[in-house]
């Protein structure tokens, strides 16, 4: 079975073609999209032989394919980048004119907005996202109030003490064209520190992660709710394992 994969170091999106569609004479190509946080062109050894990190596998991808050397962006930070990738729209068309969403921000993308996942679904693909979401989520609340329909400004944030982690999200990735989802809500330094699978918290938070700063003043995370299965240093390996497992599973279909 052909596997269509969009892979991001902080956002993994996977797409696989339905087995029924494989009976046609035309086979759609596999898609691999790698989105990496804080990765500059000089970090890959294929572009910079003096890079501090050698990247032989990515260098091989470049050697076997096409390299782009003239790229431009209207915003280089997390949320606007993800919005543009998933919707194909300029990020400044949203209410978010600067900065990024928080872990308890409401959804930035409206569920009636067409996404690349919607389009691929309509063309016979199974779709999934695995990794850092960072586009806002509509959390269920203990008091039953939804509070927000969608993101309208940077001050829109669900009250952390009222968020009900035992209930599925009111709106999440499954409303935007994805058949499967495994994610963290926002950046690795932003609470709540939980994994969500298919828009449900995998393990409810039982403690508070204290604010931590390392020797590097820019490496830290904010104090907030944390689940027992969430270890900051292990999040990336968890995403990689989940993505590889998903690909292998779909390859057997």
Q: What are phi and psi of 5, to 5 degrees?
A: -125, 130
State the CB neighbour count (10 A cutoff) for residue 223: 11
Quick check: is 134 catalytic? yes
State the CB neighbour count (10 A cutoff) for residue 34: 14
Q: Which of 72, 134, 161, 232 is catalytic?
A: 134
State the CB neighbour count (10 A cutoff) for residue 126: 21
CB neighbours of 208 closer than 8 A, spacing ≥ 6?
A: 223, 224, 225, 226
Quick check: is 78 catalytic? yes
Three-class secondary structure of residue 33 per DSSP: coil
Q: Answer yes or no: are the C-beta atoms of 180 and 148 closer than 8 Å.
A: no
Q: What angle do CA 42, 14, 48 make, to 5 degrees?
A: 10
Q: Which of 26, 57, 72, 78 is catalytic?
A: 78
Sheet holding 34-35, edge to edge: 34-35, 3-8, 11-17, 125-132, 180-184, 196-197, 200-201
Tally of helices (H runs) and strands (E runs) in the chain: 4, 11
Q: Which residues are catalytic?
A: 78, 134
């Amino acid at each position: 079975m052909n596997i269509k994969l969009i892979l991001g170091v902080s956002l993994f999106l996977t797409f696989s073609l339905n087995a029924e569609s494989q009976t046609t004479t035309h086979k759609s190509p596999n898609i691999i999209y790698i989105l990496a946080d804080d990765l500059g062109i000089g970090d890959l050894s294929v572009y910079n032989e003096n890079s501090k990190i050698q990247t032989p596998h990515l260098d091989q991808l470049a050697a076997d394919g096409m390299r782009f050397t003239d790229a431009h962006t209207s915003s280089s930070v997390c949320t606007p980048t993800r919005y543009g990738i998933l919707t194909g729209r300029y990020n400044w068309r949203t209410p978010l004119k600067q900065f990024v969403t928080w872990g308890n921000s409401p959804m930035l993308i409206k569920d009636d907005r067409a996404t690349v996942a919607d389009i691929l679904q309509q063309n016979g693909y199974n779709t999934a996202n695995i990794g850092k979401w960072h586009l806002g989520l509509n959390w269920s609340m203990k008091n039953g109030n939804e509070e927000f329909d969608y993101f309208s400004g940077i001050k829109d944030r669900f009250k952390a003490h009222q968020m009900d982690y035992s209930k599925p999200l009111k709106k999440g990735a499954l409303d935007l064209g994805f058949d499967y989802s495994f994610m963290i809500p926002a950046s690795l330094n932003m609470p709540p520190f939980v994994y969500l699978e298919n828009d449900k918290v995998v393990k409810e938070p039982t403690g508070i992660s204290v604010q931590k700063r390392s020797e590097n003043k820019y490496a830290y995370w904010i104090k907030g709710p944390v689940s027992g299965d969430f270890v900051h240093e292990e999040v990336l390996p968890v995403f990689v394992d989940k993505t590889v497992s998903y690909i292998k599973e779909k390859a057997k279909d």
